[in-house]
Structure 1
Amino acid sequence: MATVSAPSERAPKSLIAYRTIDLVTVATLGVACGVVFWAWAKAWIGISTLGMFAAPPALGLLAGPWLIGGVLGGIVIRKPGAALAVEFIASVIEMLIGNQWGASTMISGLLQGLGVEIVLALVLYKRFGVVVAAAGGALAAALEIFYEWHAYYAAWTWNYKLAYLGCTMLSGIVLAGVVGWLLVRALAATGVLDAFGPGREHHARRPV
């Protein structure tokens, strides 16, 4: 009698070749995330003025939603370049709709997507659980903050810089990594990800 293996978080055998549905999903996620990024940029203007964010480094706690595109692309499509592509497309969409940072948004998109790609590459695109998602959000945040230290906050003291890094990485872990992973699980439960690893794993977890 053949045995049924436990659900796996491993990548599909064809790691490099993109299917048409992969490309369509990259574009769709990129555009959808770009609209969310734009809306969050507008909300950020008001939220950032609240008293709890009076200390500038605390603003890093609001950064997580801008990092979620790479996490979603990486753990849904599970191919090299998907996380980077989704995050970059999202940054371009946000910029084109209009935000307060202009073309520098694309630099941020590249760095944030690269952070998730590095984490996935370290696990050889074979693991896509919540720990990997959280690590991707954290490294995406770190690369973004290294850029912001030079582009926007060069005059800050190191205690401010490090506090900002810590707050942003925490936001990346929770709001991009954990929330992104939970969102993928929720989407998989609806059946829309049946053509991808999360959808197959969802069905494998369900009792027959």
Structure 2
Amino acid sequence: MARRGSIRASAPLAGWRTVDLLTVAFLGAAFGIAYWGWGLAYEAPANAISAGFPPLSGLFAGPWFIAGVVGGLVIRRPGAALACEVIAALVSMLPGTQWGATTLVSGIVQGVGTELAFALLGYTAFGLVAAIAAGALAGPLEAGYEATNWIKDWALGWKFAYAGILTVSGAVVAGAGGWLLTKALARAGALGAFPAGQEERESRAV
């Protein structure tokens, strides 16, 4: 019989193993390097697509939420999504970015959004729907933070539109994309010590 539902992390949920700590650090660092590269690449297309309607730049924000989604899907313990996103933000900030120290603040805000989704699900669901919810919730929180600094001069309608676009981008790119990436890592055998790896092994045995 195929398993229904997700496999939870071993109890107690708050009892992080050494492999959990090492993996969240590795994932965060890897995503941080990718974030830094995306920060260099995204500006030209984002500016082009948002020339007539600035909120459209939010379409390119989804990749910055993916670390929290993948961290939560892999580790499956309270704090994993937040920790992975914060580490990624910190690593991406170290070489220098146009956003300076606010990069770390954004990482915290986005991480809280992804963590909140897994928490609301009781850390029991880690399928596609949970991943989409995690990516989506990072969007409005980040929009709220940016509304106090980067886009504070925008009209209220633009701010709400931006929040909606960030939510969609987070759901599709970070949520669905993060779920697919986690599945790919599990298929490659990289997650053998985690529930995602066990789920993959069980699916092959059916």
Alignment check: 8 A CA contact 2:127 2:179 kept:
yes
1:108 paired residue among 106, 109, 126: 106
The residue that corresponds to 1:33 in the other structure is 31
TM-score, scaled relative to structure 2: 0.95
The residue that corresponds to 2:3 in the other structure is 6
Moved over 3 A (4+): none
The residue that corresponds to 1:182 in the other structure is 180
Q: CA RMSD in A?
A: 1.2
Moved more, 56-65 or 146-155: 146-155
Alignment check: 8 A CA contact 1:7 1:204 kept:
no
Look up the equivalent residue of 1:75 and give its one-letter code: L
2:72 paired residue among 69, 74, 95: 74
**1:74-93 correspondence to structure 2 within 5 Å:** 74-93=72-91
Tell whether 2:36 aligns with 1:53.
Answer: no
**1:188-199 correspondence to structure 2 within 5 Å:** 188-199=186-197
Look up the equivalent residue of 2:35 and give its one-letter code: F
Alignment check: 8 A CA contact 1:10 1:125 kept:
no
Q: CA deviation at 1:153?
A: 1.3
Alignment check: 8 A CA contact 1:7 1:201 kept:
no
The residue that corresponds to 2:138 in the other structure is 140
Q: CA deviation at 1:101?
A: 0.2
The residue that corresponds to 2:115 in the other structure is 117
Where does the alignment leave 5 or more consecutive residues of structure 2 unmatched?
none
Q: CA deviation at 1:142?
A: 1.1
The residue that corresponds to 2:63 in the other structure is 65
2:97 paired residue among 74, 94, 99: 99
TM-score, scaled relative to structure 1: 0.94
Tell whether 2:159 aligns with 1:157.
Answer: no
Look up the equivalent residue of 2:128 and give its one-letter code: V
Q: CA deviation at 1:10?
A: 3.3
Q: How far apart, CA to CA, are the structure 2 residues paired with 1:143 and 1:24?
A: 28
Alignment check: 8 A CA contact 1:37 1:91 kept:
yes
Deviations 1:153-194 (A, max 9, x none): 111111111111111111000000000000000110011101
Where does the alignment leave 5 or more consecutive residues of structure 1 unmatched?
none
User: Percent of aligned pairs with the same residue?
Assistant: 47
The residue that corresponds to 1:18 in the other structure is 16
